[in-house]
Structure 1
Amino acid sequence: MSPTKHKVIALISGGKDSLFSLLHCLTNGHEIVALANLHPAPSPSALTPADTESPDIDSYMYQTVGHSLIPLYQEALNLPLYRHPILGSARCTARDYAPAPAPIPISAAPEPAPPNPAEVEADETESLLPLLQKVILAHPDATALSTGAILSTYQRTRIESVALRLGLVPLAFLWQYPYLPPYAQTALLSDMAAVGMDARIIKVASGGLDEGFLGLDVADPRTVARLVGRMRRFGGSGGGAVLGEGGEFETLAVRGPGVLWKGRIEIRETEVVVGEGGSAALRIKGARVVENEDGMGDGGLSSLRIPALLDDEFRTLCQRLRELDTSDTTAAQKIQCTTPRPAPPISSFATWTTAQTPTALYISNMTSPTAGPTATAQTTSIMVRLATLLASHNLPPSSIISSTLLLRSMSAFTTINPIYGALFTAPNPPSRVTVACGDALPDGVEVVLSVVVGLDEQTGGALHVQSRSYWAPANIGPYSQAKSLRMIPSTMNDHGDGQGKGPREVHVAGQIPLVPASMEMVCAEDLRAAGLDGEGDNEMAEFRTQTVLALQHLWRVGRAVDVQWWTGSVAFLAACEEGEAAARARLAGRAWRGIHRVLGEAGRGNSEDEEELDVWDLKNGVTYQPNANESTEGDGRPPLPDSGIVQISSQEQCPTPPCIVVQVDELPRGAAIEWTSVGLANCSRIDLEEISLPRGLPSYKTQVAGMDSYTVWSKIATPERIWLVDYLLDHPENSPSGRRGRQTTVYAAESLNFRWLKTTSAQIIPCRRLWDADGNEIAAAVLSRVW
């Protein structure tokens, strides 16, 4: 399927990023139809026409320095320009932004009262609304909005809010650009220079920069070297400082490649104006548009670098998985299953179960078969009852951290998704995993929902990127890429640092292999464009690439929210032929272990025994040094996993988090695989222990130092030992000193009923088949959260 091509409104400020991002719109096949700009409102005291525009207003949201030159872009780019004054100020200064919507009938929980409409109108963000409405009226076929957001969540979330209200797809192709290959802040400036873009520094506001930088081309290698040197000297080289992301400087683009720039802006007369706090600006007193001679016969797009689809370490992983002996895969396909196919569908299990810790409420197995035979009727009933249940605990819907949505058929998703989403009106909805389990669900049940709810105000840090970019799939819908939950301190009076910034449990949404820029499923053409010829030659090759790309999405999201370690992972597989399922499960397990190995090699060279890619062989005292790929000089990405905080109980302890592979019926968008995990962030130390619980139940324990809770993954090899689920859940020996606080998730390929499962608090994930990371088929896997 060809990606949708959009007609794009370009929100420009005159700065380098908003103009450079338009080249990426063009190279992705989109069409720019109009320019849009917000400018300071005319001064009420203006006496002459020359005074009608006020000076730079230092907006939190918009670049306004040099705004008097914006009309020149209409001629320079030969595109219609629409402008509107900035009204009000930054009344809402929170990182995330959303206007108060109309009340949702199904929400019985106490969300904050909507602000006065006059106050909403006074926020400068809302000035975007009439501007874009004006553009859409003139260009009703416009379907997307382009911005130059790079690292500012503050700006991105506000633009997304307005764009989505108007039905526009947000495009932010520069988002997280410094953390994409080649992982350097200066890469963006080099890419601008490569296409002949010229953007002049017209304002400096950093202790490291002085008026000597004014008028310089920011993309010129000599300017870049000076910027890097000054930022390092003043301790501001990180966080996008070299790009001016912290307001260190502002730019004005004056020239670019001919595919976009039909003319260039010639600056004729300037003067330096010194401001407060060491700032200085270049006042442009004369400028005009002249013919643009870019010297590039093709308009310049062929020189535009597109960030690689795969990070270096995931590219290496993909290549290594491809190089595995194909006879191994063939053998895996012939393995006869040791576990019988699922018995009849689950006849019964405990529904609407709850478990509560000091910081979280777990509500599991919410169903409503009596509401009607359709998924729509059952979802509506579930959401009404959930809202009422939250209200009884005095909790708003925004306190939900994550959800697991089980459907009988993925065909119901489009109808139930709006019903589900109507409950979440705050900026950051919960992360979510959605799978279809078919007739493994109980008879008459079309939908099963389970949620994790945070109980205090320090809960809820989230990542909800709704703009398309090269980074990771956009979440345009009622779920976030990740949302976090504060962990339980060993002493409940201890809140970490006293400000809610202690250790967090980060719940990451299910990640499927979409190409971020197009939001289409990865295909052979994408692989060839990425230089991975041969990856799309057969079904297993396509599955291998889907596995690696979806796993990379998990990593990129994790790094963006400071995850240091994964407590374990689940890879969901869609239905396929029996023998092929075993081969896919083995490959997924290898990918999980393989990426840890690639990240941990630290220049040791490739092992001669590449076949298994088995980091479980790295027991025996090997020191983990992730993020040591020598090809990524200047890599500023945080290490994941972060071996520096990990303590292993013995040399026999395995350093890789556990992984299970689960087969269900269907996954979103027809994906073959979906990865999900819970990560740990803001930790000073993480203790790992491979333990054998009573009765010989192999388990893996992860605990954050100073925290009163821990997680244990256990696997049950054969159906004959399924009774160990009950033993694991109920036996006091499985909690230190007999403490009894536990929430459990059970992944099981067997039909569950009260003969096997007597607990009243377990979340149930019914599966077709399960495997461990070695590719061994198992009967069940149990994740226990103990406190």
Structure 2
Amino acid sequence: MKFLALISGGKDSFYNIFHCLKNNHELIALGNLYPKESEKQELDSFMFQTVGHDLIDYYPKCIGVPLFRRSILRDTSKNVELNYTATQDDEIEELYELLKSVKDQIPDLEAISVGAILSSYQRTRVENVCSRLGLVVLSYLWQRDQAELMEEMCLMSKNISDIESNTNLENKFDARIIKVAAIGLNDNHLGKSLPMIQPVLHKLNQLYQVHICGEGGEFETMVLDAPFFRHGYLKLTDMVKSSDGEVHNARLRVEFQPRTLNEGFLQTQLDKLPVPSVLHDNWQELLQVLTNRQMETRKIEVGNIISKNVTTTSINKLNGKMYVSNLQSHGSKTVEEQSQDIFAELTEILRFNEIPRNHILSSSLLVKNMSDFGKINKIYNEFLDLAKYGPLPPSRACVGSRRLPEGCHMQLSVVIDIRNTHSDKISGNKGGLHVQGRSYWAPCNIGPYSQSIWLSDDANQVSFISGQIGLIPQSMVILEKDPLCQTILALQHFDTLCRTIGAQKKLFMTCYISDKSIIDIACKAWALYCSDLSCDDKECLIIVKISQLPRGAVAEWGGVACGQLQIDENDYDREDGEDEDISCKFEELSLNIDFLHTITVGSFESQKQFITGFTGDKEELSLVLEKCSKLAQVTLYFNSEESIPFHHNVEYYPVEKVFDHHGKEHRFGLHIRS
């Protein structure tokens, strides 16, 4: 893709350009925002580094691409919410106007490079602007380990002896410290290169948790040279230091030095540039273990039966949430017409209950034919209208199921927060992870969904995680290796999301498989994953064989996780007369059903149970659903061609086969939440 690089002059924006080039994108322009009061070096912007802005005009000479600039005023960070929405007179709107102007002049501009590492504040704002302009965000430094990233930057930088002798043997990176504002850093560190200051930063990180890459504002840098500076570099001639308390600044004086590079030098440096492996080290080990084992190939016979079960919309209010399940449309209508019907019904349900659309937390979408997904997704996106209803769309799992009733193109179920429905907050009570930029971290969102959503006031941070498939994050192309690699990569992505948000306790897990050979791979991968984590979550998994997955994937992992349990069901003794939890009520029924996993989340006053179970007896299933209709919300995965009795408060999920975490087949699988 042809991209513009947002630059501040600092190391991160330029190092990200290098990774963009490594991933075969084409740099066509530079962009920068600078203080309108040009004599000012620091605007205390929440978003943009402006220290060293007087050197920015040299960079188009060095690189050979045009520079587009726009001025910003002091104190224009009007909207400081983490998840940004367009706000009049905010400095981010100046970024929007800058990029809009560039796109008008360069119509084939496709992407924007940004050097964010940890700052979600910066990332969400650039993504907001790019989303409005139809541009892709390239952020290859996002969520990188800072020590590892600094090591790589130093590896690709000029060595200390070259800098000290003021020679320029190669046009490697040369970033200099121009501002320090952290314990252990002083004016003696100004002007030093990254290799010079790296040992100091490691020591300060160990002593005081100073961010090695300066993500806490500990220091700022200015780049004098880079491998893609084809036409020249900046030679440091003088440095003027100043101090304000514990903050020390350096104003660099430089001269442009033209040069001619050997043909192919840039490609040589790109070949040397380290990039994270698609499968991380521990996941490579898991892959090796499974590869060394003799994997069983199990034949799964699947017919072309179309379910005759026509369900009714179910609405269940439970523990501050509303579960709207089984939204369908039937008859000889087109895919678009059925989609419009379903979203019209959901709109009416929300209107009747006086609930804004931004209170939808999670959605489950079944599509009879995945080739129709684009048509459905367009209407889905129009319904959410992120510009109007907020920047955090629901998490989502989407699969293809030929077992939907005849004449039904799709089914939608959603989970909605029904508290604080009159709040002025544009995102409601939601917290979330909505990363739209390409990186090495995990797949970005390329549609109207978030990677994860949770309630901001939930101490347990019960989080809905979107279904993850085996995409290579930096290219968003499906991994075309064997099914084992793809299945493990998809599980790695799910784990990465859980770790990023700090919600590693699994409550519900569903693995959707579209290939008959995946069942044993999924079981063994899950068992090893749980074993490595020394966790007891493995029994919360239901594996279902479905018809199709997005991008032709063979496996998709999705579910619900939380940050902390607070209490477990065994952490206290019940007094006489206290209410028993839902699992005990089921035991009283003496049901012939194997409840494999029960976990309690919350406090003594407010408990929620998450139960995973299986059965092969339809009569016993009916008893369970009848009992649950008064106590809980159920997702029922079923493969029976027989008619299934309808119960309220049940999401009916027609699939081809149902398995537990051992790979044992069942007629029915249940995820139950009280």
TM-score with structure 1 setting the length: 0.76
Q: 1:149 aligns to what SS in structure 2?
A: coil
Whether the 8 Å CA contact 2:395–2:452 is kept in 1: the answer is yes
Q: Distance in 1 between matches of 2:109 and 2:197?
A: 37
What residue is the counterpart of 1:347 in the other structure? 309
Of 741, 746, 753, the match for 2:631:
741
What residue is the counterpart of 2:446 in the other structure? 476
Whether the 8 Å CA contact 1:145–1:170 is kept in 2: the answer is yes
Letter in 1 for 2:461: R
Q: 2:291 aligns to what SS in structure 1?
A: helix
Whether the 8 Å CA contact 1:20–1:192 is kept in 2: the answer is no
Shift of the 512–688 alpha-carbon distance from structure 1 to 2, 3 Å rule, reads farther
5 Å-filtered alignment, 1:694-709, equals 694-699=590-595, 700-706=597-603, 707-709=606-608
Q: After superposition, give the CA deviation of every residue in 1:488-543 in whole Å (9 maximum; x if it has no partner).
A: xxxxxxxxxxxx251121111111111111111112xxxxxxxxxxxx4xxxxx11
Shift of the 192–125 alpha-carbon distance from structure 1 to 2, 3 Å rule, reads farther
Q: 1:723 aligns to what SS in structure 2?
A: helix
Whether the 8 Å CA contact 1:10–1:32 is kept in 2: the answer is yes
Shift of the 455–271 alpha-carbon distance from structure 1 to 2, 3 Å rule, reads same
Q: After superposition, give the CA deviation of every residue in 1:533-591 in whole Å (9 maximum; x if it has no partner).
A: xxx4xxxxx111110011111011111111121113211112x4xxxx1x321211111
Of 646, 661, 665, the match for 1:773:
661
Whether the 8 Å CA contact 2:490–2:556 is kept in 1: the answer is yes
Q: Distance in 1 between matches of 2:569 and 2:292?
A: 34
Q: 1:432 aligns to what SS in structure 2?
A: strand
Of 132, 138, 145, the match for 1:171:
138
Q: Distance in 1 between matches of 2:178 and 2:538?
A: 50
Q: Distance in 1 between matches of 2:484 and 2:512?
A: 14
Give, in angstroms, the shift of residue 298 of structure 1: 4.7
Give, in angstroms, the shift of residue 293 of structure 1: 7.3
Q: Distance in 1 between matches of 2:452 and 2:665?
A: 30
Identity in percent: 32
Of 45, 48, 52, the match for 1:62:
48
State the aligned residue count.
Answer: 632
Of 66, 75, 84, the match for 1:97:
84
State whether structure 2 residue 411 is matched by structure 1 residue 448. Answer: yes
Q: After superposition, give the CA deviation of every residue in 1:283-322 in whole Å (9 maximum; x if it has no partner).
A: 2244434438799685411210011111122111111111
What residue is the counterpart of 1:761 in the other structure? 649
Give, in angstroms, the shift of residue 722 of structure 1: 2.0
State whether structure 2 residue 292 is matched by structure 1 residue 323. Answer: yes
What residue is the counterpart of 2:168 in the other structure? none
Q: Distance in 2 between matches of 1:515 and 1:686?
A: 38
What residue is the counterpart of 2:326 in the other structure? 365
Q: After superposition, give the CA deviation of every residue in 1:624-671 in whole Å (9 maximum; x if it has no partner).
A: 3xxxxxxxxxxxxxxxxxx5xxxxxxxxxx653432211111111111
What residue is the counterpart of 1:633 in the other structure? none
What residue is the counterpart of 2:251 in the other structure? 283
Give, in angstroms, the shift of residue 158 of structure 1: 0.7
Q: 2:50 aligns to what SS in structure 1?
A: coil
Whether the 8 Å CA contact 2:327–2:412 is kept in 1: the answer is yes
Whether the 8 Å CA contact 2:178–2:249 is kept in 1: the answer is yes
Query: Which residues of structure 1 form unaligned runs of 5+?
Result: 1-5, 44-51, 100-119, 487-499, 524-535, 537-541, 601-623, 625-642, 644-653
Deviates more, 1:126-135 or 1:151-160: 126-135
What residue is the counterpart of 1:467 in the other structure? 437
Q: 2:216 aligns to what SS in structure 1?
A: coil
What residue is the counterpart of 1:669 in the other structure? 551
Give, in angstroms, the shift of residue 98 of structure 1: 2.3
Of 18, 34, 46, the match for 1:39:
34
Whether the 8 Å CA contact 2:518–2:554 is kept in 1: the answer is no
Whether the 8 Å CA contact 1:185–1:242 is kept in 2: the answer is no
Letter in 1 for 2:334: T
Letter in 1 for 2:247: S
5 Å-filtered alignment, 1:75-474, equals 75-87=61-73, 89-99=76-86, 120-178=87-145, 184=148, 186-193=150-157, 196-218=172-194, 220=195, 222-233=196-207, 235-237=208-210, 241-257=211-227, 259-275=228-244, 278-291=246-259, 298-326=267-295, 328-329=296-297, 332-333=298-299, 341=303, 344-349=306-311, 351-369=312-330, 373-424=333-384, 425=386, 426-438=390-402, 440-457=403-420, 459-474=429-444
Q: After superposition, give the CA deviation of every residue in 1:118-145 in whole Å (9 maximum; x if it has no partner).
A: xx34100011122123322332222111
What residue is the counterpart of 1:560 in the other structure? 500
Of 611, 623, 626, the match for 1:712:
611
Give the aligned CA root-mean-square deviation in angstroms. 2.5
Q: After superposition, give the CA deviation of every residue in 1:740-761 in whole Å (9 maximum; x if it has no partner).
A: 42000000001363xx424111
State whether structure 2 residue 23 is matched by structure 1 residue 25. Answer: no
Q: After superposition, give the CA deviation of every residue in 1:249-290 in whole Å (9 maximum; x if it has no partner).
A: 111011122x44432211211111112x52111122444344
Q: 2:487 aligns to what SS in structure 1?
A: helix
Whether the 8 Å CA contact 2:31–2:67 is kept in 1: the answer is yes
Q: 2:538 aligns to what SS in structure 1?
A: coil
Q: Distance in 2 between matches of 1:346 and 1:140?
A: 51
What residue is the counterpart of 1:725 in the other structure? 621
Whether the 8 Å CA contact 1:97–1:427 is kept in 2: the answer is yes
Q: After superposition, give the CA deviation of every residue in 1:52-79 in whole Å (9 maximum; x if it has no partner).
A: 5433212111110000000111111122
Q: Distance in 1 between matches of 2:266 and 2:109?
A: 29
Q: Distance in 2 between matches of 1:723 and 1:155?
A: 55
Q: Distance in 1 between matches of 2:501 and 2:292?
A: 33
Deviates more, 1:163-172 or 1:683-692: 683-692
Q: Distance in 2 between matches of 1:391 and 1:292?
A: 67
Q: 1:377 aligns to what SS in structure 2?
A: helix
What residue is the counterpart of 2:471 in the other structure? 514
What residue is the counterpart of 1:603 in the other structure? none
Deviates more, 1:66-75 or 1:457-466: 457-466
Q: 2:493 aligns to what SS in structure 1?
A: helix
Deviates more, 1:199-208 or 1:146-155: 199-208
Whether the 8 Å CA contact 2:136–2:437 is kept in 1: the answer is yes
Q: Distance in 2 between matches of 1:127 and 1:292?
A: 36
Q: Distance in 1 between matches of 2:363 and 2:213?
A: 37
Letter in 2 for 1:432: R
What residue is the counterpart of 2:510 in the other structure? 570
Whether the 8 Å CA contact 1:441–1:766 is kept in 2: the answer is yes
Q: Distance in 2 between matches of 1:752 and 1:255?
A: 70
Q: After superposition, give the CA deviation of every residue in 1:25-60 in whole Å (9 maximum; x if it has no partner).
A: 11111110111111111x3xxxxxxxx543321211
What residue is the counterpart of 1:533 in the other structure? none
What residue is the counterpart of 2:167 in the other structure? none
Q: 1:97 aligns to what SS in structure 2?
A: coil
Q: Distance in 2 between matches of 1:200 and 1:712?
A: 56
Give, in angstroms, the shift of residue 480 of structure 1: 0.5
Give, in angstroms, the shift of residue 354 of structure 1: 1.2
Shift of the 298–432 alpha-carbon distance from structure 1 to 2, 3 Å rule, reads closer
Q: Distance in 2 between matches of 1:343 and 1:81?
A: 60
Q: Distance in 2 between matches of 1:248 and 1:686?
A: 41
Shift of the 342–75 alpha-carbon distance from structure 1 to 2, 3 Å rule, reads closer
Q: 1:555 aligns to what SS in structure 2?
A: helix
Of 445, 460, 482, the match for 1:503:
460
Q: Distance in 2 between matches of 1:688 and 1:225?
A: 49
Q: Distance in 2 between matches of 1:297 and 1:68?
A: 27
5 Å-filtered alignment, 1:503-542, equals 503-523=460-480, 536=481, 542=482
Q: 1:474 aligns to what SS in structure 2?
A: coil
Letter in 2 for 1:20: Y
